[in-house]
Amino acid sequence: MSQNFEDTILALATGSLHAATALIRISGNAASTTANILGFKLQKQRLASVAILKDGERKLDEALVIFFKGPRSYTGEDVMELHVHGGRAVIEAVINTLQKQGGFRIAEPGEFTKRAVLNGKMDLTKAEGINDLIQAETEAQRVQSFAQVDGALSEIAFGWREKAIKIAAHVEAYIDFPDEEIPESTLTSLGDEMSVLIRDIEKGLNDGRRGEILREGFRVAVIGPPNAGKSTLVNWLSKRPVSIISEQPGTTRDVLEASLDLGGYPVIIADTAGLRASTDPIENEGIKRAQEWAKTANSRLILLEPSTEAGFLERLKPNPERDLVVLNKIDLLPRDLKKEETLAISLKDEIGLDKLLNGLKKIVSKRMVGKEPPVITRTRHREALQSCLNSIKSAKTALLLGEEPEIVAEELRASTKSLGRVVGAVDVEDLLDVVFGDFCIGK
C-alpha cells in the first residue's frame, strides 16, 4: 500500500449512515482551504462554529465546523472537522465537492493515526492501542486497549529503559574514565541491578500471553467423536448457524470459527471434524486440521456422547486446568446413569447448558485473570522485549565471568537497541547524561 504524505486526506470518521450527524475529517496541508472550497469563512482555530457548506452556489448542508491548526491536532497536521447531517447524499456531496478540487483523497484505513505517529503526536504503542480501541468488541478488550492508549506499556517499558540506560551508563563510565576514581565495585554492584531488571522484564513477559489472547481472542477447539453434537453446540453458543448439523457422522470437515463474548472476554470457538479412523481422504484431511487447530488452542472442549467408547477420552489426555470434558445427549440416558464428574448436557432438551457456560467461563478466566494486568498485547512487543531480555542475560553472564567491560557494554547496547523498538531509540547522549550525573568525572 503506497501512501503519499503530501496529499490531504479526508474520510468519514463516524460509523453508520442515516445517523443524526456524521463527522468528515480532513487532514493535511490543504485542510484549511476546505473553507474556501465549501464557501464558508474560517473561524478562529479550535472554535466550533456553524457554517453553510456550498458547492459554488449550490447549498449542501448546514454544518458545525472546527479547525485545528497543526501541530496542535490529532494528526499533527492542519485538521478540519465538518460535522454534517448524517445522510448518505449529504456526505457524498461534501466529499465529492472537495475531491473535485484535486489534492484531496480518501484516507486509507488507519491513515489518520499513522500520520499522528509519523508526526510524533503519539508513540507506536499508543497508536496500536488506539487501533485496538477502535476494534474492541468486549469490555475486557476495551479496558486493555484504553490502558495502552493511556500509556500502560510505554510507562512500564520506559521504566525498564531507564534502568537499562543506567546500567549501560555505569559500564561506559567505568570504561571511559579510568583515572577518575571509578572503582571496579561499580561493576560488581551492576550484577544485582541487572538481576532486578531481568526479573522485571521476565515478569512482564510471563503474563501467560494474556494481552495477546485478549486482543486476538481466547481460542477454544470443540473436538470429539463424529455425531457428538459439536456443530449443534457451536451453533448454540454463537447463536447462529455456523455449521451444518446432520445425523450423518462425518458431516463437518473444515474448521469453522465463530466468535463470542464470554463474560467480557473475546472467545473464538472452532467447530471441527469428528475424530475417527476413516478411509476418506477428505475426512482425514479435516481430522488433521482439527488436530492442528486444537494443538494451538488455549483450551479444548471435548464433547462426548453416551455411545462414545471408553478409550476415546483417554487418548486425548485431557488437562483439567485448561480442557473441558462434556457429555452430550443425556436425554438418551436413563436418569440414574448420569456420571457426576463430567459435565452432562443435552443440547436437544437444553439441560445443563448454564453449567456448561459457567465451566467455559471458568476455564477462560483461569487463564485471563492475573494478579497484574497484562501490558504486552502484541507479538512485536514480545519479540523485542524477549531479545532485550536475552541481551541483558548475556551481559550479566559476561559480567559474572569477569569478561572485559567492553563486551558487557556491547551486550547492553544490544539490549537497549531492542528496547528501543518498543519505546524509542537510546542515544549516546542518554548514557552520557547518566554518566555525568552519577559520577564526578573529569579534570
Partner 1 sequence: MTETKVIVIGGGHAGAEAAAASARLGVPTVLITQKKETIGEMSCNPAIGGLGKGHLVREIDALDGLMAKAADASGIQFRVLNRSKGPAVRGPRIQADRDLYKEAVQQTLFQQDNLSIMEATVEDVVCEKTGVVTGVVLSSGEKVACSALVLTTGTFLRGVIHLGESKTPAGRIGDEPSIGLALTLEKFGFALSRLKTGTPPRLDGKTIAWGSLLEQNGDCPPEPLSYLTDEIQNEQRSCFITNTNETTHAIITKNLNKSPIYSGQIEGVGPRYCPSIEDKVVRFADKNKHQIFLEPEGLNTDTVYPNGISTSLPADVQEHLVRSIAGLENVRIIRPGYAIEYDHVDARELKHTLETKKMAGFFMAGQITGTTGYEEAAGQGLIAGINAGLVALAKEPNFIIDRAEGYLGVMIDDLVTKEIKEPYRMFTSRAEYRLQLRADNADIRLTEKGVRIGCVSEYRKGRFEKKRSNIEKAEDTLKMLKLSPSALSKLGIAVNQDGIKRSAHELLGHRDIGKERLLEIWPEVGQIPQQYLELCRNNSMYESYVRRQEADIEAYRKDENLVFPKGMDFCSVGGLSNEARQALETVKPQTLGQAARIPGITPAAAIILLRHVRAQGRRRRHLQGSG
Ligand X SMILES: Nc1nc2c(ncn2[C@@H]2O[C@H](COP(=O)(O)OP(=O)(O)OP(=O)(O)O)[C@@H](O)[C@H]2O)c(=O)[nH]1
| Sites for ligand X among residues 328-347 (CB under 6 A) | 328-329, 331-332, 346-347
Q: Establish if 5 lies at the interface with partner 1 (CB under 8 A).
A: yes
* Sign of the dihedral defined by the CA atoms of residues 392, 376, 301, 283, in that order: negative
Calpha distance 50→45 (Å, rounded): 13
Q: Establish if 71 lies at the interface with partner 1 (CB under 8 A).
A: yes
336 binds, among Mg ion, ligand X, partner 1, none (CB under 5 to 8 A by kind): none
Binding site for Mg ion (CB under 5 A): 231, 251-252
Selected from 11, 29, 165, 170, the binder of partner 1 by CB under 8 A is 29
Over the Cα atoms of the chain, what is R_g?
30
153 binds, among partner 1, Mg ion, ligand X, none (CB under 5 to 8 A by kind): none
113 binds, among ligand X, partner 1, Mg ion, none (CB under 5 to 8 A by kind): none
Minimum distance from residue 281 beta carbon to Mg ion (Å):
18
Q: Which stretch binds ligand X (CB under 6 A): 174-182, 200-208, 244-252, 386-394?
A: 244-252
Strand order, beta sheet including 8-12: 49-55, 58-68, 79-86, 19-27, 8-12, 104-106
Contacts of 423 (CB under 8 A, 6+ apart): 123, 125, 154, 157, 158, 161
Selected from 31, 33, 76, 167, the binder of partner 1 by CB under 8 A is 76
Q: Establish if 403 lies at the interface with partner 1 (CB under 8 A).
A: yes
Contacts of 54 (CB under 8 A, 6+ apart): 38, 39, 40, 60
Calpha distance 314→217 (Å, rounded): 28
Helix (H, G, I), strand (E, B) or coil at 127: helix
Q: Is the Cβ of residue 72 or residue 288 nearer to Mg ion in the bound state?
A: 288
Q: Which stretch binds ligand X (CB under 6 A): 47-55, 93-101, 142-150, 249-257?
A: 249-257
Minimum distance from residue 2 beta carbon to partner 1 (Å):
8
Contacts 24+ apart (CB under 8 A), 14-20: 14/86, 17/86, 17/87, 17/88, 17/91, 18/86, 18/87, 18/88, 19/86, 20/85, 20/86
Q: Which residues form the interface with ligand X (CB under 6 A)?
A: 226-232, 245-247, 249-252, 273-274, 328-329, 331-332, 346-348
Binding site for partner 1 (CB under 8 A): 4-7, 28-29, 70-71, 76-77, 115, 117-120, 172, 175-181, 403-407, 409-410, 413, 424-425, 427-429, 431-432, 435-436, 440-443
